[in-house]
Homo-oligomer: A and B are copies of this chain.
Amino acid sequence: MQRSEVSAPADSETLRPAAIRHAQRHLARHLAALSEFCAIPSISADPNRREDVAQAAAWLAAQLESIGVRQSRVIPTPGHPIVYGELAASRPGQPTVLVYGHYDVQPDGPLEPWESKPFIPANRGEFLFARGAADMKGPLYATIAAVEAMLQQGSVPVNIKFIFEGEEETGSPNLGPFLEAHKTMLAADVCLNLDAGLLDYEAPTITYGLRGIVAMEIRVHGPRQDVHSGIFGGVVHNPAEVLARLIAALRDGGGGIAIPGFYDGVRLPDETERAELARLPITEASILEQTGVPALWGEPGFSPVERAGGRPTLEVNGLVSGCAGDSFATIIPASALARISFRLVPDQDPELVSSQLTRYLETLLPSTVRLEVKLLAGSPAILGERTSPATRALDRALAAAWEKPPYYQRGGGGIPIVSQMQSILGISSVLSGLAGPGDSCHGPNERLHLPTFERGIEAVIHFLHNFAQS
């Protein structure tokens, strides 16, 4: 599908503000619908929540249907389904925007830190608290609300295709094959993706780079079952201790990663980009405030912004071994598990990093235990165009909704879909978002900032009009 070069219809400048007014007048209804959406515990990682994930997909398809997307449907995959819908532009020859979202959410984790229940959405002050409210049911819903407002004025200015997946939080394992199988259906000029967050509620943000990811499980096996530490302590090597030593050996003395070859593929940001990144409104104090840590940490020679977006990192995401519940048992555990992940930058290769890690661990491993390493998910980093028509349309949309020019950042997280869109469909993505760093996307008390949600709806209306006119 080719982009049209004809100018927008004469009424675009009246339809656009009318749609925005419509969305504003219906905000209470949208909030109610979003709360309904957030109440569905669509945790893709939890096999017991399969029905709930399916329910969220059905809810979404019905929602699309209700705003006038007649072709909306739920398409099964070997995992969780994909919700798809299409709308034709009012006039032929308009470009096509693929609107991406994911309706699955992170696990809710331990409940104690939550001030209200994760799946009983609670409106407190300017926020809606719920698992998934920020990541990304709120931003996804904003695209629906924007399109609804435009349809209420008669039509949409560009062709729109919605693709909402249910496995983003588990690494989108079935999305690639789906894209492969539906290339024609999904053909589009650009993908709009609001899963990238913003720097601050007052700092509209375009994310032009994303880190890749490699997620792995490391398991050290010791005795065939837990054994008494009084009887075997001193003769049987403790797998939890071995695991701790392996993890410690992944880091060099100065905060860097000690895996041989790890930095080989790393491309450094150039001086222009470093200067731009230095202007971002992220301060050491703001990170301390958001996280409550006593001091920041990281690789020397790079600013916090560079470390969080432009440098590769290694994180221990989970540890479990032996007596992990409330009770103490004097055992040598049979095994010890670490879940770790790397954030990658251009031009690191996920498969290479995974095999570098495995080789390194094997060289470190004592003969007294056994090692099992699993690659769970991997995707490379991407670095987008900062001057494409779609980026310019998004720039002007954010500037209009926030009344200030947007910031350009490299995102710290990875979004596998963005690289798959590019490599499989040849579609580049423009990335923004409505979740701020304090919104606890993967933690307890996740929340959506409602004034930002409202601006988001407005920005989507602007973007779709801008892209039609551009």
Q: List residues of A whose CB falls within 8 A of some B CB.
A: 43, 45-47, 106-107, 109, 113, 169-170, 197, 211, 213, 215, 217, 222-238, 240-241, 243-245, 247-251, 287, 290-299, 304, 307-308, 311, 313-334, 336, 338-339, 341, 343, 366-370, 376, 411-414, 437, 440-445
A323: chain B residues at CB < 8 Å are 107, 109, 317-318, 339
A383 → chain B closest CB, angstroms: 16
Contact B225 A443 (CB under 8 A): yes
Known: A224-B291, A233-B313, A297-B368. 11 other contacts (CB 8 A): A211-B230, A215-B328, A225-B440, A227-B440, A228-B413, A232-B412, A233-B315, A233-B343, A234-B307, A240-B338, A320-B325
Known interface pairs A318-B322, A318-B328. Does A291 touch B230 (Cβ–Cβ under 8 Å)?
Answer: no
Contact, CB under 8 Å: A235 / B46:
no
Flag if B230 contacts A327 (CB, 8 Å). no
Max chain B CB contacts within 10 Å: which of A106, A291, A308, A319? A319
- Copies of this protein, total: 2
Q: Which 8 A-B residue pairs are closest in the complex by CB-CB distance?
A: A230-B413, A224-B292, A45-B327, A237-B297, A234-B307, A318-B323, A244-B247, A240-B316
- Residues of B within 8 Å of A331, CB to CB, are 315, 317, 442-443
Please indicate the chain B residues that have their CB under 8 angstroms from the CB of A326 in the complex.
45-47
Shortest beta-carbon distance, A399 to chain B, in Å? 24
A441 touches B295 (CB 8 A): no
Q: What residue of chain B has the Cβ atom nearest to residue A312's Cβ? A: B234
Contacts of A444 in B (CB 8 A): 225-226
Point out the residue from B225, B234, B244 that lies within 8 Å of A113, measured CB to CB: B225
Contact call A291/B227, Cβ cutoff below 8 A: yes
Given the complex, which residues of B lie within 8 Å of A413, measured CB to CB?
228-231, 330
Query: Once the chains bind, are B226 and A313 in contact (CB under 8 Å)?
Result: no
A234 to B328, CA, bound (A): 33
Which residue, A211, A223, A290, A330, has most C-beta atoms of chain B within 10 A? A330
Q: How far is the CA of A169 from the CA of B291 in the complex (A)?
A: 38
Q: Report if A293-B236 is in contact (Cβ < 8 Å); known contacts: A227-B440, A440-B225.
A: yes
Report the minimal beta-carbon distance from A179 to chain B, rounded to whole angstroms. 22
The residue from B230, B297, B341, B370 contacting A330, defined by CB atoms under 8 A apart: B341
Question: Can you report 11 A-B residue pairs in the complex whose CB atoms are below 8 A from each other?
Answer: A45-B328, A109-B323, A197-B231, A225-B444, A225-B445, A233-B315, A235-B296, A243-B319, A244-B316, A293-B368, A331-B443
Q: Chain B residues with Cβ under 8 A from A442's Cβ?
A: 226-229, 329-331
CB closest chain-B residue, reference A224: B292
User: What's the Cα separation between A341 and B291 when bound, in Å?
Assistant: 32
Question: Given the interface contacts A323-B107, A444-B225, does A244 sit within 8 Å of B248 by beta carbon?
Answer: yes
Report yes or no: B369 in contact with A293, Cβ–Cβ below 8 A: yes
Question: Which residues of chain B come closer than 8 Å to A230, judged between CB atoms?
Answer: 211, 213, 343, 411-414
Please, how many angstroms separate the alpha-carbon atoms of A228 and B438 in the complex? 10
CA distance A225 to B291 in the complex (A): 7
Contacts of A414 in B (CB 8 A): 230
Q: Is the CB of B317 within 8 A of A319?
A: no
- Checking B45, B233, B251 against A241 with a beta-carbon cut-off of 8 angstroms, the contacting residue is B251
Task: Report the bound CA distance from A240 to B211 in whole Å.
Answer: 22
Which residues in B have their C-beta under 8 angstroms from that of A318? Answer: 240, 321-324, 328-329, 333
